[in-house]
Structure 1
Amino acid sequence: MVTASQLLPFLLTALLITITPGPDNLMVLGLGMSKGRRLGMTFGLGCASGCLSHTVLAVIGVSAIVAASPTAFLLLKWAGGAYLVWLGVRAIRHAGAGTAAAANSREGTARELFAKGLAVNAINPKVVLFFLSFLPQFVDQAQGHVEWQLGILGLVFTAQAAVVFGLLGYFAGTIGAWLTRTPRAAAWLDRVAGAVFVGLGARMIVSR
């Protein structure tokens, strides 16, 4: 259902988005540095698992819109594109500002931290809207089975996020110290991600 020409750019873009300093990975870094590798990895895996709920919403919502109304789908694309452009401009304007925001989390069991990470991601309305905006960028309507394409892309995003967040939790001490010593690196990651968001948003707005 998903070709290699769709999957490779999607995976590369997803990796770039996931590694860019943001609320989820900064929380994983902060918890890993303060509570240790195991709890940092557990929280990160919980955050990644929250992407599954957004995948389900994207499959149901976007598929229904495509089937019911091409005009509604066009409006969704425009709204999603504008949202991505806004995210990109905001990331560029505030590049590096979020790196210092990684905060320590309270001690808890692995199960509690997994549940917390899951909830933090699953109930975030901005992430819901992001998924609804991001996944359709890599769907080929000519191939049909839009819902299957969205589902596969969502699972791929979740899998790579689990790997990245797990590694962040494991190497939290080293990565956190590097970002603290090299704030320019975090700022450039923000700028690159911002440019990607702006490009994706512009593409969504102008594409037919």
Structure 2
Amino acid sequence: MIDWATLITYVAIVLGFVFIPGPATLLTVARATTSGTRVGVATGAGIAAGDVIHTAMAIIGISALIAASATLFSIVKYLGAAYLVYLGIQAILAKTTSQPTTAGALPVTAQKAFRQAILAEVLNPKTALFFLAFLPQFVHPENGSVSLQLTTLGIIFVLLGLVSTLVFAIGAGGLGKFLRRNPAVLKWQGKVVGGIYCALGVRLALQER
């Protein structure tokens, strides 16, 4: 069992991480602003599900393989980058209505956004390395099963990250509802969202281990 001092320190650090805007926040805000709060929440949930997978990968050793192999790291990185750019191009080319509406103008369902967010998160090798490097710092063998401690720490991270993305999704969803009444916003929203996705893809492709 993780001792309380370690747990409190871990939670404080994680809260600092998850509430600092990063790629996950940008993806969530982009979806919520253009397609509504529900889609934003689904995106946040998908990112959380991807982080659950990363936790499992860290526990069973897959993340260590990615860290040890430059080739495997590059393959995952470029797959993730290509997927983000693909989503970006789709958003840029999508036809949007020029009529003001309170409904989401981009043809993205909550289920689709959830699946896309999972894949985008899983295909980010930097996240895999983060879980591999960060979680073990709070594991103490004398406190019991290492796997159980890693699982507990991973679940806490996922839950706090989900709370963070939900906060951003709800805030961005409300703002987006207002903005989507503006014809100019409706005309350019797909290009803006697509630009964000493409920029994140390029950023991922240029990252080193």
Instruction: Give TM-score scaled by structure 2 length.
Output: 0.60
The residue aligned with 2:27 is: 27
1:174 to partner: Cα distance? 6.7
The residue aligned with 1:112 is: 112
The residue aligned with 1:154 is: 154
The residue aligned with 1:2 is: 2
Alignment CA distance shift 1:15-1:143 (3 Å): same
**d(CA) in 1 for partners of 2:156 and 2:7?**
9
Structure 2 residue runs without a partner (length 5+): 69-89, 92-105, 177-209
Residue 46 of structure 1 aligns to a residue whose secondary structure is helix
- The residue type paired with residue 144 of structure 1 is G
- The residue type paired with residue 27 of structure 2 is M
1:41 aligns with 2:33: no
Are 1:28 and 1:43, in contact at CA under 8 Å, matched by a contact in 2?
A: yes
- The residue type paired with residue 117 of structure 1 is A
The residue aligned with 1:16 is: 16
- The residue type paired with residue 25 of structure 2 is N
The residue aligned with 1:142 is: 142
1:67-94 Cα distance to aligned partner (Å, 9 max, x none): xxxxxxxxx9xxxxxxxxxxxxxxxxxx
The residue aligned with 2:102 is: none
**d(CA) in 2 for partners of 1:173 and 1:36?**
5
Residue 34 of structure 1 aligns to a residue whose secondary structure is helix
Are 2:46 and 2:113, in contact at CA under 8 Å, matched by a contact in 1?
A: yes
Are 2:3 and 2:143, in contact at CA under 8 Å, matched by a contact in 1?
A: no
Runs of 4+ in 1 over 2 A off after TM superposition: 104-107, 173-176
1:141 to partner: Cα distance? 2.2
Are 1:168 and 1:175, in contact at CA under 8 Å, matched by a contact in 2?
A: no
* Number of residue-to-residue matches in the alignment: 141
The residue aligned with 1:200 is: none
1:130-165 Cα distance to aligned partner (Å, 9 max, x none): 100110111112223111100110011111111111
Structure 1 residue runs without a partner (length 5+): 66-75, 77-103, 177-208
Structure exhibiting the larger radius of gyration computed from Cα positions: 2
**d(CA) in 2 for partners of 1:19 and 1:117?**
18
The residue aligned with 1:169 is: 169
**d(CA) in 2 for partners of 1:159 and 1:41?**
13
